[in-house]
Every structure is written in structure tokens, then in C-alpha cells.
Amino acid sequence: MNYRKPNKADRVRTASYVAVYAAAIGVGASILISGGTGGVLAWAIPVMLGAFLLIRWHAQNTAYRCSDCGHEFEISTLTDAVSPHGLGGGGWKYLKCLHCGKRTRTEILRKK
């Protein structure tokens, strides 16, 4: 599969998905605070479902390049959920390379 570096449109799309997720959490939290019926569920369901959907979307649309050997690979939704990540230098995720076996800060790529 072909991969490319993320561009501005990719970052805007990701930010908009996160903003919608944050808004859903905020609405649920306001219902929870106001003491409405089912307040805990109104907050917990968007949090859990939204987090799962965001992580799944990210795992399906991204790949990674090992900073040591340059091998490009994809990861599972579970690995995406539990792996440390950061935003410096365009984004990275700390993963074990499937080719060389070293743990490095891999570069985040987008699937074409």
C-alpha cells in the first residue's frame, strides 16, 4: 500500500473529528451536571463510543515509518489505543518495528 506524509487537510480533518468528540463530551457533561435523567449514561456513552470510533478511524487511516530502518507498516486498533504518542515534529508514535524489531518513535504516515 502507498503512504504519504500528512498534509494540512489531514490535520484539519483530524482536528474537526476531535472537536466533534469534545462537543459530545461537553453536552453529556452538562446533562450530567444538571442532574437530568440518565446523566451518567449521557456522558459515558459518548466518551467510550467516541474514543473507540476515533481510535479505530486513526488506525484504519494511518501507517508508520520506523525511524531506524525506514520500514513502513500498519498497526491494529488496540495497539493504536495503547501506544504512546506525541505531536512534536509532525507527530510520532512509539512502536516496535515489525521489520527490525527495535522500539523507536515512528513517523506517522497517511494511507493514500
Q: Could you state, in order of their start, the residue ranges of all structural domains in the chain?
A: 3-111
Burial class (CB in 10 A: 0-12, 13-18, 19+), 43: buried
> Which residue, among 57, 56, 55, 51, has the nearest Cα to 28 in the 3D structure?
51
| pLDDT value of residue 36 | 61
Using 70 as the pLDDT threshold, list the residues of the chain that sit under it: 36-39, 42, 88-90
Sequence-distant (6+) residues with CB within 8 A of 58 are: 14, 80
The residues facing 96 across adjacent strands are 103
Q: Report how far residue 68's alpha carbon sits from residue 49's, in angstroms, rounded to the nearest whole number.
A: 35
Residue 38, pLDDT score: 65
* Contacts by 11-15, CB closer than 8 A, 24 or more apart: 14/58
